[in-house]
Structures are given as C-alpha cells and as structure tokens.
Structure 1
Amino acid sequence: MLDAKSQGTPAAGFRQSLKAITRLIDRMATPILPTLLVALLGSATINVPAAHADDSVAAGSGQPDAEGIRFFESKIRPVLIESCYDCHSEDEQESDLRVDTLEGMLTGGLAGASVVPGKPKSSLMLTAILYHDSDLRMPPDEKLSDSQIADVTRWIEMGAPHPDSANVKPIKRRGDIDIELGRKHWAFQPPVKVDPPRVAAASTADSGSGSQSDRSRNPIDAFILSRLEKEGLQRVAAADKATLIRRATFDLIGLPPTPAEIEAFIADDSPDAFRHVVDRLLASPHYGERWGRHWLDIARYADSNGLDENVAHGNAWRYRDYVVNALNNDKPYDEFVVEQLAGDLLDSGTDVALKNERLIATGYLVLGPKVLAEPDQAKMEMDIIDEQLDTIGRSIMGLTIGCARCHTHKFDPISHHDYYGLAGIFKSTHTMDSYKTVAKWHETAIETPEDVARREAHEQRVAAQQKLIAERVADATAKLDPAPAAETKPEEVEKLFPAETLTALKELRDELKKIQDAAPEMPMAMGVVEGTVADTSVHLRGSHLTLGDVVPRRFPEVLADDNQSPLPAEQSGRLEFARWLTSGTHPLTARVMVNRIWRGHFGKGIVTTVDNFGVQGNAPSHPELLDWLAVRFVEEGWSIKAMHRMIMLSETYQTSSTFDAHNNDVDPGNQFYWRYNLRRLEAEAIRDGLLAVSGTLDRTTGGNIMQYKTREYIFNHTSEDKSEYVTSRRSIYVPVIRNHLYDMFQLFDYTDASVLTGDRNTSTIAPQALFMMNSELIDELTFAIADRLLQIDTDLPTRINRLYLESYGRPASPEELSSATAFLSQFQTMVAKRSDKMDPQRLAWQAFCQSVVSSNEFVYLR
C-alpha cells in the first residue's frame, strides 16, 4: 500500500513501490487465466457464501461475464493493490481483513463482511472509502478519487464479479451461532425445581432468635447446609436478637430500629417473634423507599439528563414514586415489568388512576442519558434504542445484549440479527418528540378528571375575557365616524379610539394576561407511546450508514421458540416482548430477580455477576437453590415480599458474622455461607440513619423537592447552579443530578446514574473517615443528637445507653459506660477551662455522639 506514511523519504517510497509491483507480478497469473477462460467459454459458475440468518453478506450475481471480470481487473484490482494490499493481504491482515481474495472480502474481518455483492449500501468497503464513518476511513491517509469510488460502487452493484468466483465455496462467516450449543449454557435452560436435599448434620445455629430449629422447614437451609457438609464446613451460631433486628430493619427499610422496637423483640420469646418483625417491616411505607432505591439503581434513575445538555428531568420523580408505591403494594413482579415496558398498551378500562400509573411506569424506557445535541439524528435515535436494549437486557434478563449492536456477540449466543430484531421493537416506539437540537424526550399527559375540569374552567375564563375584549373593540369601532376603510389593520383602527376606551382595553388585556398566566399546570410524565411500526435493517458495525438485511421484529433465537410467531404488524411488539419475558417459562427473568433480592440481603448474589448471566458471567454458587427460588417466585405469584420473607426466615440469613478459623481456611470468601458477611451500609442508609438517630428525619413519603423545571438547564458553564441537597427528607428523594452528584453520595460509592448498577462497589478510603470527622453535616447532626439526649430527664448511664441503642442496636457494655463517663467528664472540664462562652456539657456530648456515629459499628451490619 503506497500511502502518506510511506512517502516520507525517496528510499521508503521506492521500497513500497517495489513491494507493490512484486505483489502484482505474483498475482498476474491468477487473474489472467480465468479471464481468458471466461472469454473462451462464455461463463463460469460462481459459488458465494450461503445465506444465513446471521449473514451480512448477500448472494452474488451467480455468473459473471467476461466484461465483469475485465471491469474488476482494469478498475478495481489496481485500486486494491495501490491502496489496500499493504495492510489487508497475505502478508498482513489488519483487523483480520484480507481484500486480495474474494473469500477474504466476503468473509470480512473483525468489523464484518467487507463486500456484499449487489448491495453497495450494505458493504463496509464502500462505507470506508466514502469516509461516511469517522471510525472507519480507508485508505486512512487520503480518500480515493470520486471516479475510483464510483468504480467500486458499480463493481459491487454488478455482483462483485471476480476471477476467484468459481473457487469460492460456501463459507462459515464470523459470528455464525450454533443455537443448540448456545442453549446448553446453564442460564438459557429453564429452571428446574428439585426437592431440597436431606441433611444429616446438626446445625450449630440455635433458635433463640425465633428461627426454625428443624432445617427442613425452610428449603433454603437444606440447600445451604448440604453444600456446607459437602465442603467440610460447619455453620457458625445464630446472631443474637439485637444484632438480628438491626440487620433486618436496615435491610428492609434502610433505617435503624428504635429502642422500643429492639426491647419488644428481645422480650418476645414466641417462636414467631422474628416473623412478626419481618411482617411489620414489610408493611412499612419505608420498605418501598429502601427497595425502590435498589430498583432505581438498575433503572439508571436520575433527575437530569447529563452528558452534553444537562437539562432537568423535571417529572422523573413520578417514576420514582411509582416504583416505591409498586413495591409497597407488593405489585407482582411480572406486572411490574410489563407496565414499565408496555404500560401504555395495557387496557385500563375506565380506571384513570391505573391508566396514569401505567403511563408513568414507561418512564423506565426514557430515563437514560442522551446526547441531545447530536447533529446526526439517525445516530441519536439508534444510540437511544441501544441504551434501552442494554438496560432491559442487563436489568431484566441479566444479558449484555448491547454488545451485539456492532457485531454478533463475542461470547453469548446473541447474533447481530437478534439485536436488530429487538431494536425494531423500540424503533417502532415513540421515545423522542424531536431529534432536532436540543432534542426533546416524550412526556405524556396524566390528567385526572379533576385536572381536566380545572383546565376546562380556565379555558372558559380565558375565552370569556377574550370575548369581552372583542365586544369592546367591535363596539368602539362601530362608533367611529367616519368608519375606517375595510382594509385598515386592527391596530391602526384602535389608534382612532378615544383615550378612555384605550384605557379600558388595556385593563381588560392586562386582566387577560393574568388569567392566562394563572393557567393550572397539567401533570406530565416521562414515558413512551407507540410510534411508526417498522422492521429495522442490520447496521453493519453498528453504523446507520451501512445497512444490511431487514430483520423482522423478534426475540433472540437462543431464548425463544424455534418457530416464533410474527409480532403484530400494527403494533411495536413491546407488549408481546414484555409478556414473553414474564411468561414464567423464560429461563432468565425470575432467576435474575431472585438473585437480586438475595444480593440485597447477603451483599452478594448466588450469581455474583448480578447483571450478567451470560457465558462471561460467574456460575451460581448454589445452582439448585437458585432454580428452586426462581420457580417458587413464579409459583407464589411473583411476590417480592414473599421472597423476602422466605430468605429472612431462614437460618442462613439469621446466622451470626462470627469468625471461624477452620471455615476461613477452607472457604475464605464465604462462598458457601457458613457465616453472615459483614456489610457496610450504602450512602443513603448512612445518611438516613444519621438523620433518624438525630431525630431530624422527615419521614414524608413521595413528591418532588427539585428546584428545576422540566428541561431547564442544570449547572454548567452558562447556567446558575440551583442544585439543593440541604433537606431532612430521606435520601431517595434527594435529586440525582448527573455530572453534579451530591458529594456525600459520591464519597460512599453511590451508583453511577448514567448506567445501570446492580452491584455497587464498597470502598474504604480516608476521605470517608474525614467526612465523618469534619463535615458540616456531621457537626449539625451530632449536635442535634446531643441536644435531644440532654433534653431527656434521666441519669448519665441511661443517656449513654440510649445513644448506643439508637446507633448500634444494643446497650453499652460496662466498659463502654465507664469510658464514656470518663470522656464526658474530662471533655467538659477541658472546655470550661478554655472558654466561658461555650456550653461545656453540650460540646462534650456532641464530641461523644460524633465518635459513636463515626465508628465502624454504626456504618456496618453484622
């Protein structure tokens, strides 16, 4: 290849020229002989790659004539030799691509087939030489001439005639998928509910916390203990009741238990004591706030767009409240999924509230970040569809479907065509009202009958005022003498009115403006509706500039029946897709969700890669348990609360976090659950726990506290920063501003709101400790704790014990009482000596409270 890089010196140019000439001589025998044979015999049989469901390559023209071969030899091969062979031939194949053979061009490289005979628009070679794709420009240093590009285009249109056609046999293309082999992956096989195993060994866990002493009564324990026995492990003792209620309360509502709740549980000696605790917590309105946050992590919830145009998602909070309420009401998970994917397509009858709830649910498809100033509107549309598919794939199916946008999935049996079969469903969905800069996502009116009545009443007031103004103008016009000419403009006519008439009109119009400005704001929600229904072409390399076959809207072959029914021609297929996912027979949907619930209670999933059940994901540590839970989940009506109850009433959940040296030697990662893992609280639980202990927590549920209106610009180089995080509301209600996240959330490993995150990281870094020691928030809250304790009319030990109960879920030990008493006394003495303007007792208690809530015991569950 003679290019700009080789022209730096005469010697380099000579070497490259010599190399190109040598190659041409080497290849001359091959092209000349077929050409002569074609001229003599008139035709030759061409064997091109066989058609395949995952092909980007179409069939060729069948029989090239002599003219076609001559065209290739005179117009195309010289261009390939001069501009392409240096990097894409026998000696070197950048990106695994060869263009010195027909087979190489048809097979293609890492990016896919280079030439699709008869289809220039589907041929990556043409995309590359046209420089349409900024990431694929060949030759890289200098574009071919217009005439050369025209020749390549014509050659492909002719069917890509080539001397090698007779020698090219059907080939297996990159990305071909063996569906039957793919279906053997464990996650793509339907879950099977086997009988729980019988366990011979005795449990070391006692039943003092209210757990079942007969392990067979909770199948989870049978599966776990069976594996422990197999590995030679012994489960440690059960957690004490104080530890257990703190663990359960944070797990289910994200707040610490109150002293009264702790004392009541400890005093309850009944076998169902812990069951009563679990039921009480599941019935709390704060349960939905806690577990709603888990779902919002994987729904990539945010109150702003982020990326280039960080504008406000002013109505995103409605989706957040939908999630909270759905979980509080134990909405079956299958309904929960269907509403978010296709709520607008469900028949809600005359139930306006249900209809609006389902419209709000589809906000799930709109919440992702978007490049709203993308000049290429077709690219923006496909980027948004890709983001939707990636979110649905990983959140609901545990599959990285988005990897198949540019090519067949490298690891999972998901083809390029599978991807665009799904993409057609969402291309047929109306997500955006406009792709013109700045693009606008769709919002749907969610009016109630009362809202409609208010709007209509306002419209009537406006109309009445406009009628009054028109009557006054008409009356004044009629009194003019002489009458104005018919062609006189209205504003010119009014200039002829008497001063008192003009004054009256001004007053009427001012009143009209006041009425118009007082228009009631109708509720809107981010969401989707049906769009123009159409199937989508395969985008070679993921680019809309190079299109392959049109793929009927459908589901991935490896997961669907061999004979899929076609999706309705008049609808996108979202509803059918949602129902397919939640049919109860889909191998992934129930598994993925029960694994997420398990992860929420144990800090890790049975499948630790909670967002990836594909070939590159981790295998389940207890596959039979996972399947048993998945089938049970469906059998119990997809009840999330029932799954919580099943897990939390197991001895496995109620085990202590006690260390055991032997077990640790055998299973240092606690893969088999011989103890409960210590877990640090998430950022929200730390903040909410501090607010609760300080007595300043505002437990109001739902609603919006963000200062921005829909599509208003948020903090950037040209706009005012109105982000407000000073609130005593629970953390789930704190605005999630992409590109400008609340500092405390960032510090304690909050999710990246631009992508779904089903498994947050937990870091331990110095700034976390410094925040607890020095931040204004901690100062304010620990003063509030101190003030509240000092207001209690009781003795010092009682106050100290109350602080420990509220913070750690247990009373202070005798040693802690002694140390705390000494600290408070010495601190007060020190402050009194230094200043007579400060309250020594208040400062001493604030310092003591800060030391308590800054400790590991406050921020960890054990």
Structure 2
Amino acid sequence: MIQKKLTRIAAKPFQKWIAALGISAIVFSLATCNSSGEQGGADVGIPDVVDYNFHIRPILSDKCFACHGPDNNTREAGLRLDTEEGAYGALADHPDMFAIVPGKPKESEVYHRLVTDDDTYRMPPVSSNLTLTAREIDLLTKWIEQGAVYKPHWAFAVPTKTELPDGDDWARNEIDHFVLNKMKEVGFKPNAAAESYHLLRRVSLDLTGLPPTAEQIDRFLAEDSPETYEKMVDELLASTAYGERMALHWLDVARYADSYGYQDDDIRTQWPWRDWVIHAFNENMPYDRFVTWQLAGDLLPNATKEQILATAFNRNHKITEEGGVIEEEYRVAYGLDKTNTFAKGILGITMECAQCHDHKYDPFSQKNYYSLFAFFNNTTEKGLEGLVNSGPSKTPRLTITQEDLNGMLDFVNKWDEKEEVSVSIMGELDTLRPTFILDRGVYDSPTERVYPGTPESVLPFDSLKFAQNRLGLAQWTFSKDNPLTARVFVNQIWALFFGRGLVPTIADFGNQGELPSHPELLDWLAVDFQEHGWDIKRLVKQFVMSATYRQSSQITDKHREKDPDNIYYARATRIRLPAEAIRDQVLASSGLLDRTIGGPSVKPYQPEGIWEIASPGRGALAHYVQDHGDDLYRRGMYVFFKVTLPPPSMLIFDSSNRDMCEVTRQRTNTPLQALVMLNDPTVLEAARVFAGELMETGDKASTDELIQAAFKRILCRVATKDEADVLSQFYQEEKTRFDKAPTTAEAFLKVGEAPQSENLPKIEQAALMAVIHAIYNLEETATRI
C-alpha cells in the first residue's frame, strides 16, 4: 500500500521540480560506474623500450597462455611461452626451429605465426576467436629485437622504495609527488582544491561512513587556518564510527553473514567477531597482528579469548545443516573456502583456479593449491554437525561469558545478559591430517600427498623458519620478503578512498590482472606501510591528507576525452555511496540514527512476504520477524544478513552477497535504485521525522529557512538561489495538493513507527516532508563528490 500511495504522490511532482532544478536525481541518474579500460583512452604508441611485464606479458596472458602457459593438462605442442626456457628452447615437433630467438624476430616461429595470412598456420588459431592487433604484433616484434628479456611478474618481486619524483608547491605529501609526475607525463595538471563543504562531507563519509554533524559543519566552515582540515581528520579518525566504516570492507572480505546459507538457512551468531573487528580498527591494531590473530590466534602461545575470537574470521563461510549430505565432502569444501579467502582477500591472487588443474595463466600448480589448503585442513571442524538444529555456532566454538564481557572482551555488545553467546572459531588437531591433491578437485579422489607449503613463485615456504601450521602461514604472510601482502592491502584501502585501485583488478595481482597505473607509488606505499609497523590509521591519514585526495571532482572536456576513468587522478572521483552508507546518511541527517556500537544484527522494515517466498528457511529464520524501537534505526552494517536473501534494499545498491570473499563491490545504475529511494519506509520515515523536528525547533523560522536547514544538513552546503527557489515552489505545490486532499497528507505522515507529534500542522509537515524526501533522492545525496 505504501508503495502504491507514494508512486501516485511523488511521481509527477518529482518530475516537474527535478526538470526545473537542473540537477540529476536518483530517479533519472545515479553516480556513474567506473569501468576499467585502456588508460584514459590516451594515444598509445610503441615505447622506446618494450618491457616484458608492462607490454608483453599482458598480450601473452590474454592470447597465448591458455594453450602455451603453466597448465600442463592443456598445453599444446609441448610449447611454453610463460618461461624463457620454454620460449627459447627447440620446438618439440621441429628441433631445428625455435619459438623465440632473442634479437632475431625473423628467425622466431612466433613472429611468422603472427604475421602469416594462412589461417591454418596463424596463431592464435581461428577457432579460438582471438586475434592480435597490429600494435600488439609490433610490440612483440620490437621486444624480440631488443633481446626478448623475460622478467619475474611485477607483483611477485619484492617492492622497493624509489626516490621521490620532483614535486612543486601543490604537493602536500609523498603521494602527490608520484601522482603529479604521472600527470605531467600525459599532459594533465591537477584540479583546484575542492570547496570546503564538499571536502568536509567527502572526508567524513570516507572516514566514518556518516555525514558530518551540523556542529562539525559550522565549526569547519567558520575556522580558516591551514590546520583546520587536519584537526578534522584526526577527530574523525578518533571517532568510534571510523572502526565501523573500516570494518564494513573487512566484513566483505571475510564473507560475514548472520545465517549459514545453503537450503536450510538458519541463524548463526558470529556477530561478536564483528564487534572485535570494529574494536580492532578503532584501537588501530597493526595490520600484521590483525590478520595473524584471525588466521591463527588459537595457535599463539597462551592464546587469550580475544585472540581465539579473532579466528572466527575463518569460520564465516557457508555451512550446511541439510540431512543426507556427505560429511567429508563439506569438511573439504569448508577448507577450500578458507584457502580461497586467504588467497584472494590477503594475497590478491586467484588460487582457486588451481583447485581442479594447474592454473592456466599464473605459475600456481595444483600441488601449490593443495599445499596451501593443507594449512586449513587440520582443523577440528566437522562437515556436518547433527541433523536437528545444531545451534547458532559450530564445533569448535567459543562461549562468551558475563565475566568475559566485564574483562578482556568488554568491547562485545551483548544485549541480553540472560543468554549465552557462542561463536564458531578455529581449533587444531593434535595430529597431522594427511592432505592430498584431489583429482579434478573432487573430495574423494585423492592422488599425491602434499604438505603445508606456499607458491614458490610468490615466496617459498621455509619449513625451518616457519611452523607448518596456520601460525607459520601468518608469519610467512608478513615476511619482509613477501611481495604481495602489503601491496594488496594498500591497494584495497586506496580503492576505498580514490574510487579505483592503483591496480584496478583488486582481487587479481596475477597475469590476468591489470597493471598498476602508478607502480612506483604502489611500491613506495607498500614499503612505507611496513616500515611504519603496518599502521592502518597512519596509512589512511596519508591518503586523505594528500593534495590528490583534496582535489575538486569537477570534470573537464579533456578529462572526459582523455581519462574518463580518472586513472591519472587529475581530479577527485565521484563515487556512489555504499549501500549501507546511503541508509546511514538518511538516518543520521534526520536524527533517527541509533549510534550504538556492535551487538546482534537487527531486522528493520522489509517488503512483506519476500523472506518466505524467495528464501524459505527453518528454525529462527523460517519467518521474518521485524524489530521495533531503536533497532529500526541501527547502521546498515548491523542489518541482519541472510545469505540466501541479503537485505533487498541494500542488494539493489550493490552490497556484497557475502557468500564468498569479495574485496571490492561493483557499482550499477538501475531503475530499482530509484524505486527504493522513493518508496523505502526508512527514507520516508526519516523525511517525516526530520520535517517534524525542524518545525518544532524552528517554530519561528520561515518555510524557506526550514528548507535551507534541511538542505544543509543533508548535503553540507547552502542551497543556491535557483535550488532554493525550486524547492520552495515544490513545497507550495505540495502544500496546495495536500490542502485539497488532507487524507492523503495524513496517510503520508503515517509511514514508519517513530512517534508522530499531534501538535504540528499536518498539511505543512507533509509538504516539508515531501521536500526533504526529494532532497534525499538527489544524485548528490547518494554520491561522495
């Protein structure tokens, strides 16, 4: 009923005032997606020196490695082109011929196979539907002429700090030296600094996921000194909301959810681990300790309950409770999930490709994969733990007592003191469980036995230096010689603040991943991060204090033509807010937001019946039981996440599915997003409560002043005269409409459970509510500018 009423109420007025206002609204256009492609569309010629990593490997990986790469099972003609030994050696079928002869393209069979007109001879074969461009052929030819020098994959070489490029007065820290140098190479110059109000809103949303408060806005805009911005950054970093914002990314990496998944999708209680993640970020736990505790906290000497709780990270995968399944099949599946999450989320590599066969593009064999799997194959976890409601946690589990809450685990927000809370955690067997390579990845097809180890191409595992268990794996992960760990995390966090990664393929640093746009900067940041104790808050502050971050997002014709994806950071990137932040902004600006940190997840408004129809579950989740009171107004990260049916309004705004590790989210534009913002009871209720609060606290203020106050609190700036005039006109039109149909106004004001004051004039409140609702639907509202 609400949706039908609001469609009638909102559609025509919205179209009219949006057209007059001249600014995009969610109804018509959301923040643009950033797709990756050729760097900025800039003219690309043949470089003087052709580099294997940056020019040749991408061509071979895309066009050749499927048949002539690392996978022994699919290799054609016995030819490997991913190693110099294979490429330089004599061809198996023609011992007097060679694929590549360094310095001599005309004697190289690869060259002749690329330039021939004979379809039966040309490579790649016609059947592959792959072809090389003239530029790619020229690059390969010139590379062979220059000696066909192979190099280790750039991401598998230990990063080093290069000397800072020259900077100028624009640069505020080291980041800007690298960015400015790259801009100059391609003929760009930086944008001017963002307006103060845009910058304040940007940094507040980025650091806390919330808009600045009215007091922060007034204070920031009133102060005029070089230190003002840094003081605000420090204030935001010190707020508890910072930990929530950073934790949101890690929940995606860790595939956190409030249910088990699979068909019989019942409730589980991993939320104390979520409380720990928030706590860890707020306490600025160094990244090496943060990950080590999650991988192997239970294996630390005299492990504390906090360290053991951290290992719940490994147990966030889907778990079956269905009768008739084979216990061993699912025990293996859980280990594979842990392996894939570690590889993707922490190392940034696609190891899962080697579960069934040698990796086709990267130097990871099946043996490498199952050697890594062996670290996670020794847990006491079971594949199936009983067929009758085995509870909200699984063996091994940690029970949190009231004594824990009063002591070491005081950061866990346990709301109901009468009930125990238990969490699925890690535990190790006393004896080593044998691990085997599984033929085609099938759980009951063991072949060769393997032992805990890591891909040699990344960093060999030294069993004399590291124990062959998860703790040893964690130590290997943070070895100074590990080329991936620091690079990958720095890149993930960079993407959160700049809209894209320095390596755009955030989950793939391998051969099929994109090359870094600023390799020297990425390596400098990775080394600097390690040198300063893996300090996350320091890293984040580096990012937001840079002149690169503080630029205006104004886009010019040159930007649009030469660098539409903002690869060179000659402007700030406009980013559509994460799903949770869209909800949080509405609740925060309206005054409804409950800022309680942590605790069990909550169930706010949701379309009736969708839970039961789309995802029939059992037990506690057989039916959707909506919460009430303050629970309706918790932050988006606390909304109950059912694996088989994620929160619909958030899923529409591209939240993670949480059924597997995700290190980045896509951004889409769909009409459903407009419908959510127009009809979601949370948005409508927030507009109603906000309108009532403005009228009660500003009873002597004019309507135009109330509209301006709402606009400022939502968008952190004063509306221009044209904007204010259109909003004022819209208010008058809505007031006239409600005057003629007072029952429509009354229905409009009944949305949501928050108390409605009976002392306010209904017609005026409904009209002001409509205006605030319209502001919530602006593209600018849903966009970090």
Task: Tell me if both proteins adopt one fold, taking TM over 0.5 as the criterion.
Answer: yes
Q: What's the offset of the Cα at 1:584? A: 3.1
Distance 1:737 1:562 in 2: 38
Aligned to 1:782: 687
Relative to structure 1, the CA distance from residue 445 to residue 547 in structure 2 (aligned partners, 3 Å threshold; closer, same or farther) is closer
Partner amino acid for 1:861? R
Relative to structure 1, the CA distance from residue 443 to residue 724 in structure 2 (aligned partners, 3 Å threshold; closer, same or farther) is farther
3-state secondary structure, aligned to 2:397: strand
Residues 264 and 617 in structure 2, CA contact (< 8 A), matched pair in contact too: no
Bigger Rg over Cα:
1
Q: Structure 2 matches for 1:449-464, cutoff 5 A?
A: 450=403
Q: What's the offset of the Cα at 1:238? A: 0.9
3-state secondary structure, aligned to 2:511: coil
Give yes or no for the alignment of 1:242 onto 2:148: no
Aligned to 2:571: 675
Aligned to 1:184: 152
After TM superposition, the structure 1 stretch with the greater mean CA deviation from structure 2, 369-378 or 395-404, is 369-378
Partner amino acid for 1:853? Y
Relative to structure 1, the CA distance from residue 547 to residue 823 in structure 2 (aligned partners, 3 Å threshold; closer, same or farther) is closer
Distance 1:453 1:262 in 2: 37
Aligned to 1:551: 450
Distance 1:222 1:563 in 2: 38
Residues 434 and 449 in structure 2, CA contact (< 8 A), matched pair in contact too: yes
Q: What's the offset of the Cα at 1:611? A: 1.0
3-state secondary structure, aligned to 1:524: strand
Distance 1:682 1:452 in 2: 32
Aligned to 1:299: 254
Relative to structure 1, the CA distance from residue 329 to residue 421 in structure 2 (aligned partners, 3 Å threshold; closer, same or farther) is same
Give yes or no for the alignment of 1:540 onto 2:439: yes
Q: What's the offset of the Cα at 1:442? A: 2.1
3-state secondary structure, aligned to 1:309: coil
Give yes or no for the alignment of 1:795 onto 2:695: no
Distance 1:737 1:607 in 2: 32
Relative to structure 1, the CA distance from residue 234 to residue 429 in structure 2 (aligned partners, 3 Å threshold; closer, same or farther) is same
Give 1:392's match in structure 2, choosing from 331, 335, 342.
Answer: 342
Q: What's the offset of the Cα at 1:235? A: 1.5
Partner amino acid for 1:319? W
Q: Structure 2 matches for 1:273-312, cutoff 5 A?
A: 273-312=228-267
After TM superposition, the structure 1 stretch with the greater mean CA deviation from structure 2, 622-631 or 522-531, is 522-531
3-state secondary structure, aligned to 2:552: coil
Q: What's the offset of the Cα at 1:728? A: 0.6
After TM superposition, the structure 1 stretch with the greater mean CA deviation from structure 2, 374-383 or 651-660, is 374-383
Give yes or no for the alignment of 1:767 onto 2:665: no
After TM superposition, the structure 1 stretch with the greater mean CA deviation from structure 2, 827-836 or 217-226, is 827-836
Aligned to 2:767: 844
Q: What's the offset of the Cα at 1:723? A: 4.8
Relative to structure 1, the CA distance from residue 744 to residue 725 in structure 2 (aligned partners, 3 Å threshold; closer, same or farther) is farther
Q: Structure 2 matches for 1:415-564, cutoff 5 A?
A: 415-432=365-382, 434=384, 437=387, 441-447=394-400, 450=403, 521-531=419-429, 532-561=431-460, 564=463
Give 2:313's match in structure 1, choosing from 364, 372, 380.
Answer: 364
Distance 2:347 2:417 in 1: 44
Residues 454 and 460 in structure 2, CA contact (< 8 A), matched pair in contact too: no
Q: Structure 2 matches for 1:822-861, cutoff 5 A?
A: 822-835=729-742, 839-861=762-784
Partner amino acid for 2:659? S
Distance 1:295 1:669 in 2: 25
Q: Which has the higher contact order (CA 8 A, sep 6+)?
A: 2
Aligned to 2:98: none
Residues 554 and 567 in structure 1, CA contact (< 8 A), matched pair in contact too: no
Q: Structure 2 matches for 1:75-224, cutoff 5 A?
A: 184-199=152-167, 213=169, 215=171, 217-224=172-179
3-state secondary structure, aligned to 1:538: strand
3-state secondary structure, aligned to 1:442: coil
Aligned to 1:322: 276
Partner amino acid for 1:189? A
Residues 73 and 358 in structure 2, CA contact (< 8 A), matched pair in contact too: no
Partner amino acid for 1:538? I
Distance 1:278 1:644 in 2: 10
Residues 491 and 522 in structure 2, CA contact (< 8 A), matched pair in contact too: yes
Distance 1:109 1:221 in 2: 46
After TM superposition, the structure 1 stretch with the greater mean CA deviation from structure 2, 762-771 or 388-397, is 762-771
Distance 1:782 1:283 in 2: 30
* 1:4-63 alpha-carbon deviations (Å, 9 max, x no partner): xxxxxxxxxxxxxxxxxxxxxxxxxxxxxxxxxxxxxxxxxxxxxxxxxxxxxxxxxxxx
Distance 1:783 1:449 in 2: 40
After TM superposition, the structure 1 stretch with the greater mean CA deviation from structure 2, 801-810 or 426-435, is 426-435
Give 2:216's match in structure 1, choosing from 248, 256, 261.
Answer: 261
Aligned to 1:86: none
Give yes or no for the alignment of 1:737 onto 2:633: no
Residues 377 and 436 in structure 1, CA contact (< 8 A), matched pair in contact too: no
Distance 1:648 1:452 in 2: 35
Relative to structure 1, the CA distance from residue 644 to residue 443 in structure 2 (aligned partners, 3 Å threshold; closer, same or farther) is same
Distance 1:562 1:781 in 2: 55
Residues 680 and 762 in structure 1, CA contact (< 8 A), matched pair in contact too: yes
3-state secondary structure, aligned to 1:430: coil
Aligned to 2:538: 642
Distance 1:324 1:556 in 2: 32
Aligned to 1:756: 661
Aligned to 1:24: none
| 4+ runs deviating over 6 angstroms | 107-111, 451-454
Distance 1:718 1:444 in 2: 22
Structure 2, unpaired ranges of 5+: 1-65, 77-148, 408-415, 605-610, 747-761
Distance 1:444 1:545 in 2: 27
Q: CA RMSD in A?
A: 2.9
Partner amino acid for 2:642? I
* 1:700-720 alpha-carbon deviations (Å, 9 max, x no partner): 111114589xxxx99626553
Distance 1:843 1:626 in 2: 52
* 1:290-309 alpha-carbon deviations (Å, 9 max, x no partner): 11001101111101111133
Distance 1:182 1:533 in 2: 40
Distance 1:110 1:382 in 2: 29
Partner amino acid for 1:856? E
Partner amino acid for 1:729? R
Structure 1, unpaired ranges of 5+: 1-94, 97-106, 112-180, 203-212, 350-354, 455-517
3-state secondary structure, aligned to 1:420: helix
Distance 1:821 1:522 in 2: 54
Aligned to 1:335: 289
Residues 731 and 768 in structure 2, CA contact (< 8 A), matched pair in contact too: yes
Q: What's the offset of the Cα at 1:435? A: 5.3
Residues 607 and 619 in structure 1, CA contact (< 8 A), matched pair in contact too: yes
Q: What's the offset of the Cα at 1:519? A: 12
Q: What's the offset of the Cα at 1:289? A: 0.7
Distance 1:183 1:575 in 2: 32
Give yes or no for the alignment of 1:812 onto 2:728: no
Distance 1:108 1:612 in 2: 23
After TM superposition, the structure 1 stretch with the greater mean CA deviation from structure 2, 667-676 or 330-339, is 667-676
Relative to structure 1, the CA distance from residue 695 to residue 612 in structure 2 (aligned partners, 3 Å threshold; closer, same or farther) is same
Distance 2:300 2:662 in 1: 29
